[in-house]
Structure 1
């Protein structure tokens, strides 16, 4: 008779803060939890993060899986290491060897502190410029390019000894809804899915230790259930038809696409029954407890097949054995600063032939006063920081704004100075469609360049390394040779 796993062995949870408190440690041990996902609330410094991972490893045991979203670009929790560019910067540079090197460097950062699982790379094909959650997190809008760079990113992770996790299966690149906030549907026929969304996953499954599911309904694959809860997608397609034997992990079950429609406990049981090996039961303790109770009941009553759950447990243990959560003595992350700077610069993209005002000019900088953080992405650069940095090239007059619809462009033009507009928000702003700058610096969402009828310089990110490449371009010290995904 197949022994039943503990419910906690099939769940991944998060923890409250930067240290492992006694109550949380007891909770993890009591339920046999082996998997934890770290977020910004858990990260303060390299020594602190290393100590936290050591404490987690002591509690979780030899099968510990300590994960984090460490994609690059806007999806980086540690602020104490050099910032790697995100996927679309690398796609714009289109040098797979560079993508591999950057990915290996990201993975080395994680191994340095004892994190053994990175929820990257993103294999979504961002064919929808209005996508509110993927955008520059994707390598591009072409499935062949995503395959090319996804393979390079997987190689980089494998070289550094960190488990990668491709996401968001079957593809989040053609949605207009954010699954953190709603339940999206992608109503494409199967042939279109095969050619675009599914192509990178199918091509790269042999090299992917793990796959993360998307909370999206694909009627051509399953007209009723989102992929995370779909046996037709996770078991019939991914396991049976494509022969995938790696780990299947859900995205966070606290996202409204799931929590707002199914509830935590029932959704976890449905996901495990559908073929997921690990459910991300993130959030408050009550939600974790509700998930544990529901899974325990489903195991006890036979609603969850013991043989299937045992197979899931075997896959999770194999992943932890192949990629142990042990600290590695890697080179100082500062050594990768030049590599990241090279990558940011290589992705810099000119759109509509932008021209920089001559250095020393008097310019008017129009920029968001203080961009806000959105879901998984960090907040962009604020107006004062940009003005201070551009002040090393120009005599800058700053015009910060809270909302783009308040901008009076005829009045701004009346200043008689060249106007540089810097967009630093996660989402596009339709109110910018009447903007009249001389130069647009698209420092976050690259598709903002489509909203502003002006020449643009696109960075695909707002990190300091990206901004330094912009300053070099403004001084005439650097070209912008990247290729835009539109």
Structure 2
């Protein structure tokens, strides 16, 4: 009997396998699940969840997540890989390979054997709403060199990589979580930039690639890449010869769900050449049921050939044999080593922009920072103004602060007197007009911009800046050391 449901990767609503979710898994026998932050709590509880899932689905079930590094982390209690763009700032492929290994060790410790990372998108659009620092940079050859090294480190440590988002999400103005982006580029233009890292991934024999929900009208005027036979079966399989697993990005994202609300994207993606379909209901079991019905109906009608599904199941089985997901304990000594290693990468990534003024002994330093920032898309947390203040006071104990409501930032003229103003951007998305007016008011003062998340804010705002590419603990330590005068060797991995 053809077990087509094994091509579906589902999600779960919470940190435990509740009775309804267990019944759903046992009934439909999906190929695996994808874990989000809501599922990952204490190591013991998460390990139990994973054991329960494999009891329901079988030992060959995939346990997947997005542990990209930087702002996109699902597990937070192990050494944290830096954002890919931080690695781009170091230009160090060995560091990228080690970051992949560190990510893998924190996942395999729990039994997670598929990581939807790294992003091999070449971020050539500074206003890209969903990639940005998740990319290794704007140079396609550097993205290929560093990204493939990261993925190879991950796989060498026992976790399958899921390089994304083929054929490239780096030049979009739309977040595919919210709508369908359109990239109107010729094949020649894609070959020169977006496809360079993905060709390298194919040549390196990486375990899997994830598709992009983007319309490329010059290659397929009808179907987004996730559903495009021309891009999946044609370019990726037949022309490039890729025989690894192809998985879709989540089909609940509105770029796909708005077009195919009844689950028809699942059989369409498989027919186009995908092997696995990621379906995230976020607590709504009916989405998974719709995908199952659509898949079974497509098989009954012949719209989805059984041979195409058998091919996908064989690829998934070969990959599962290569990456079985047997938990490997992540010991204290190894964790300490990896934490030091990743802290060193964060230090080397700090990038100066312009002539950077630093705090001087005996002078008043004022930190101006928003209380909070919006999150969305792949992001699940942010750095609060309070947390940044606490982190920097370890290095600047007399630091004064103004923590403002991002909807009502202060005017520069209303700020307390200070010899140096540190204006921090902790947001991923755009600044308000009022915040930009505040920055304009700082141009006549001795001021330094701390770009803690979105590195493109540094050239955009034009103040002297220190860029960290992230806001995790290692980034805050590295920033504090830089403010004390330590070297800042990072180089912007894009043209300012």
TM-score normalized by structure 1? 0.96
Contact 2:14-2:38 within 8 A present in 1 as well = yes
**Separation of aligned partners in 2, 1:261 and 1:31:** 24
Q: CA RMSD in A?
A: 1.6
Aligned residues: 482
Contact 2:118-2:163 within 8 A present in 1 as well = yes
User: Structure 1 residues 30, 416: closer, same or farther in 2, change over 3 A?
Assistant: closer
* Secondary structure of the corresponding residue to residue 168 of structure 1: strand
Identify which of 183, 187, 205 aligns with 1:186.
183
Counterpart for residue 307 of structure 1: 307
Counterpart for residue 277 of structure 2: 279
- The equivalences for 1:244-283 within 5 A come to 244-283=242-281
Counterpart for residue 460 of structure 2: 451
Counterpart for residue 44 of structure 1: 41
**Separation of aligned partners in 2, 1:153 and 1:111:** 16
Unpaired runs of at least 5, structure 2: none
Return 204-213 or 178-187, whichever deviates more. Answer: 204-213
Shift, 1:430, TM fit: 5.5
Contact 2:359-2:484 within 8 A present in 1 as well = no
Identify which of 363, 366, 380 aligns with 1:364.
366
**Separation of aligned partners in 1, 2:297 and 2:391:** 58
**Separation of aligned partners in 2, 1:329 and 1:453:** 47
**Separation of aligned partners in 1, 2:455 and 2:262:** 35
Contact 1:361-1:394 within 8 A present in 2 as well = no
* Secondary structure of the corresponding residue to residue 122 of structure 1: coil
- The equivalences for 1:472-483 within 5 A come to 472-483=481-492
Identify which of 51, 56, 75 aligns with 1:54.
51
**Is 2:413 the partner of 1:410?**
yes
**Separation of aligned partners in 1, 2:425 and 2:81:** 20
Counterpart for residue 397 of structure 1: 400
**Separation of aligned partners in 2, 1:221 and 1:276:** 17
**Separation of aligned partners in 1, 2:77 and 2:342:** 14
User: Structure 1 residues 95, 406: closer, same or farther in 2, change over 3 A?
Assistant: same
* Secondary structure of the corresponding residue to residue 123 of structure 2: coil
Shift, 1:405, TM fit: 6.6
**Separation of aligned partners in 2, 1:227 and 1:285:** 26
Contact 1:45-1:78 within 8 A present in 2 as well = no
Counterpart for residue 476 of structure 2: 467
Shift, 1:26, TM fit: 1.9
Counterpart for residue 165 of structure 1: 162
Counterpart for residue 318 of structure 2: 318
User: Structure 1 residues 301, 95: closer, same or farther in 2, change over 3 A?
Assistant: same
* Secondary structure of the corresponding residue to residue 461 of structure 2: coil
* Secondary structure of the corresponding residue to residue 66 of structure 1: strand
**Separation of aligned partners in 2, 1:440 and 1:389:** 16
User: Structure 1 residues 210, 484: closer, same or farther in 2, change over 3 A?
Assistant: closer
Contact 2:80-2:342 within 8 A present in 1 as well = yes
Shift, 1:269, TM fit: 2.0
TM-score normalized by structure 2? 0.94
Unpaired runs of at least 5, structure 1: none
